[in-house]
Amino acid sequence: MNNKREYDFGIEAMEEAGGTAPVGDAPKKPKKRWAMKISASLVAMAMVSAGSIGIYSRVAGSNNSPAHEISEENAGNSSVTADAMNVIKTEKPGRTELTTEEIVEKVLPSVVGIESEFTMVSDSSSNDFFNGFGGFGNFGGYGNYGQQETEEKKSVGTGTGVIIDESGYIVTNAHVIYDSQYGAELADSVSVIVDGDDTYDAEIIGYDTDCDLAVLKIDADGLTAAEFGDSDALKLGESVTAIGNPLGFELMNTVTNGIVSGLDRNITINDKAMNLIQTNAAINSGNSGGPLINKYGQVIGINSAKMSSSYSGEASIEGICFAIPSNKVSDVVDDLMDYGYVTGKPQLGITCQDVTEDISEMYNMPVGVCVFEVTEGSAADRAGLEKGDIITAVDGKSVTTAEELNAEKNRHEAGDEIEIKYVRNGEENTVTVELDEKAQEE
């Protein structure tokens, strides 16, 4: 660095601009007020909960399904003890292939509808056209002339779930019961529809937004639990069937089929890296949390996301859908039922902001990830990382964004060591960091 003062000013300017990204155990962000957002990207990964339509269309009057942000938050209030472990036991593939009719007959009794009620906090200017483009309405030239009022609105989203135990335990997607995109966060209440008719109040046992999985419990017994198969045994091109509730409950228990289009797809959705099964079986809003089923009638995935266009005027993208592998589901469900959160997740303990090429040129800073806050006592703190350090590489691999830093961190487990290269006051340094375990969020 030739000008440390300019470098420091750059950090201060970035901090004032906000937009820091959490890595590790960053402090929980406050609820944010809802406002219309327009994405500049041509293609987005969209979660397939009808909450993406059912919730936000009631507030904004929009029929577009926004991409759902997967945050690093995870929580749960489990009352289940450790004897609940291994509730999902994945079975080896069967020997007899079933017809589509036989698959549906076998699995349909285990598929449920889920309805979640959220409280949305909105500005009175939320529907102002100019406010949708970064808040131009705040200058007072249009809409309510700079005067903002807030109001709460109750909104309902729907999804799908799979019964995993006859005593009333159900697995679904976390984004069915927890909203990260617009700050509504955990649903006020959740109900479950069984057999297309009986409705039960549901308890949220635990959820994890990184893995996008949640476990619910209803007061019922004698239910039909689905059989789960070994997702590692899937083969490319193998036939699969999906069952769910697209666009709500009017089309409840819709059946679609296709093939396994891809395996071990490393997909990033809103800065969250996930390893997913790709399928061309039709999955739409409301299918979230529903089963993807192999040719033996075994659930081998939980449907979660699809590729979609962010512009209504563009041609839609069909046949590129994704599901969470059943083996991953089994591991996560065990933790959620035992502890209410997922154990073994690595945490670094910083918040940070990308240093783009433009920022780098403007403030004479290296391209990388600038540390804005270090949590006291965290892995980063113990290793000696400080506010203002700019991380440029992890384990010898260059990182230029918080997304890339998170992806490298998440390749490891708690207790693993990673090597971080960073720049401080113009000097390049390397430090070894032993990752902590991410604990349950309150």
Could you list the active site residues? 175, 212, 288
Is 317 in contact with 308 (CB distance < 8 Å)?
yes
Contact criterion met (CB below 8 Å) for 262 and 305: no
Could you tell me the end-to-end alpha-carbon distance of the chain, in angstroms, rounded to an integer?
A: 41
H-assigned helices in 132-216:
174-177
The neighbouring-strand residues paired with 265 are 276
* Measured distance CA(370)–CA(174) in Å, rounded: 30
Measured CA to CA, the distance from residue 55 to residue 71 in angstroms comes to 19
Q: Are the C-beta atoms of 206 and 441 separated by less than 8 Å? A: no
- Provide long-range contacts, Cβ within 8 A and 24+ apart, for 259-268: 260/234, 260/235, 260/236, 261/236, 261/319, 261/320, 262/236, 263/234, 263/236, 265/322, 267/45, 267/305, 267/322, 268/45, 268/403, 268/407
35: tokens are 């406002």
Q: How far apart are CA 325 and CA 171, in angstroms?
A: 13
Locate 217 and state its tokens: 């419990």
Q: How far apart are CA 310 and CA 270, in angstroms?
A: 14
Residue pair 29/300 in contact by the 8 Å Cβ criterion:
no
Handedness of CA 108, 110, 111, 112 (dihedral sign): positive
Residues 320 and 279 sit within 8 Å (Cβ to Cβ): no
